[in-house]
Structure 1
Amino acid sequence: MNATALLHLLQFASPALPIGGYSYSQGVEAALEAGLVADADSGRAWIARYLDEVVAQWDAPLFWRLLKAFEAHDDASVALWSERFLASRDSAEFRAETIQMGYSLTRLIAELGVADVAALGPEVALPTAFACAVDALGIPHEEALLAMLFSMVENQVLVCVKSVPLGQVAGQRMLLSLRGEIEQAARRAQTLGDDAMSNWSPGLSMLSMRHEAQHGRLYRS
C-alpha cells in the first residue's frame, strides 16, 4: 500500500470525518438500557457477537461486493447491493442512520472533488458512499474493508467508554482485544457466498425499535 493511498484511507476512516458517526451507537445504547451491556466484559462480548453474527454475515460481505462492483464499473451491481443494504435496515433508526451518513459522505466526496456521485441516486447507503470513495482514491480493498470494520468497532467501544462508563485505558484494552474478531470478520467477508449471506438478527432489530421510544437517550441509534 503506497503512502498516498494510506493517507487517503486514514482520512476517510477517521472518526473526525464530518459525517456524524459519533452520534450513533449502532444498538449499544439500547443494549445498555436493557442491561445486556453493563461493564467491560459484557461490552466486549456484545461487540464480538455483533461482529460475528451481524457484520461478518451481511454488512462486511456486502461492502466487499460494492468495492468489486465499483472497480468493475458495474453500475447494475452497485445499484443491486445498495438496494439490498437499504432493504436490510429493518428499523427506522438503522435506516435513518445509513441514509444520513451516506448523504453526508456523498456530499463531502462531491465537495472535495473526489468523485462524481450524481449516478448514486437520492438515497445513498453509507457502505455505497464509502466504496465510491475507496474506488476513486485507489485505496486497496483489503485495507478498506479492515478500516470499515475497525471504524464500526471503535465507535461501539467509544459508546461503552462514555455510557457504561469505562475508563479510557479500559476502552483501548477492549479495542485491542477485538483485533482477532475484526480480522476474522474481514476474512469471512471476502469468501462468503451470496446464498450464505444473512441479515437475520431479530434481537438487535427489537432493541433498535425499543430505542426509538427510549427515555433520556444520548444517541440516534
Structure 2
Amino acid sequence: MNALSLLRGLRFVDSFFPSGGYAFSSGLEAAVYGGLVKNAEDLSRFVFESLTTGIGEREAVAAGVAHDAFVSGRLETALKADRELDAMKLSCEGRTASRQMGRQVIRVAAGQSEPPPLLADYQALVESEKTPGHMAVALGLALASAGWSKEDSIAAFLYQAATGYVAAAMKLLPIGQREGQGLIESWLPAIGRVSKQAAPQRVFRSWSPVQDIYAMRHSRLESRLFRS
C-alpha cells in the first residue's frame, strides 16, 4: 500500500472522523450497569468475545464481502451483505447505530471529487433507504476504493470497533488512557488473526449471546449516557 492510499483510508477509522461513534457503547453501558463489566479485566473479556465470535464472524466478513464487491464492480454483492447484516443484528439500537455510522462513512467516501460510480450508486440507495447502509459494508467499500487490501480493511473495521469500546469504557469505568491503550494492544493479535480468517469467508455467523442480550437491555436502562 502506498502512502496516499494509506492516508485516504486512515481518515475513516480516525477518531476525528464524524461517524458519531462516540454516542454508542454497543451494549457496554448496559453490561456495566448490570454488573457484568466492573473493571479492565471484565472489559477485556467482553470485547475479546465480541471481536472473535461476535462481530469477528459477522461484520468482519461483511466488510470483506463489501471489499470484494468494489473490486469486482458488483454492487449487488454489497447490497446482499447489507440486508443479511440487518437481519442478523438482534438489537434495534445496534442496527440503528451501525446504519448511522455507515451513512456518514459513505457520504464522505462518495463525496470526494470524482468518486467511483459504485460508491455513488451505493450512497444513493442508502439515502433513499433502499439498503440499510451498515458500517461494515460502507467501510469495506470505502477502504477498497482507497486502495486498501481486503485483510487490512477488515482489520481496520475491527480496530475501529475495539477503540470504540475503550472510548466508551473510559466514560463508564475507572479506566485511564494508558490502561485503555494497553487493552487495545492486547487485542491486536486477535484482530490480526480474525482478519485473516474472515477474509476468505462468505457466510455470516455470530455467537455472542451475552453481548447481544446486554445490547437489547440497554433501551430499558433508567438513565443512559449512550444511545446503544
**TM beyond 0.5:** yes
Unaligned segments of structure 2, at least 5 residues = none
For 2:172, which of 163, 178, 181 is the aligned residue? 163
Q: Match for 1:167: what amino acid?
A: G
Q: How far apart are residue 75 of structure 1 and its match?
A: 2.0
Q: Alignment RMSD, CA only? A: 1.7
**In 2, Cα distance between equivalents of 1:46 and 1:155:** 13
Inter-partner Cα distance in structure 2 for 1:42 and 1:184: 22
Query: Structure 2 CA distance, aligned partners of 1:108 and 1:213?
Result: 33
Amino acid at match of 2:185: L
Q: 1:210 aligns with which of 212, 217, 223?
A: 217
Contact 1:102–1:126 (CA under 8 A) maintained in structure 2: yes
Q: Any idea what SS the aligned residue of 2:68 has?
A: helix
> Which of 144, 150, 157 matches 1:141?
150
Paired residue total? 219
Aligned residue for 1:2? 2
What is the 5 A alignment of 1:1-221?
A: 1-113=1-113, 114-116=115-117, 117-120=119-122, 121=125, 122=129, 123-192=132-201, 194=203, 197-221=204-228
Unaligned runs of 5+ residues in structure 1 are none
Q: TM-score with structure 1 length normalisation?
A: 0.92
Deviations 1:15-42 (A, max 9, x none): 1101101111111111111111111111
AA aligned opposite 1:199:
S
- Deviation at 1:3? 0.5
- The whole-number CA distance in structure 2 between the counterparts of 1:139 and 1:131 is 9
Give the whole-Å Cα distance in 2 for the aligned partners of 1:118 and 1:10: 20
Alpha-carbon distance in 1 for matches of 2:73, 2:111: 22
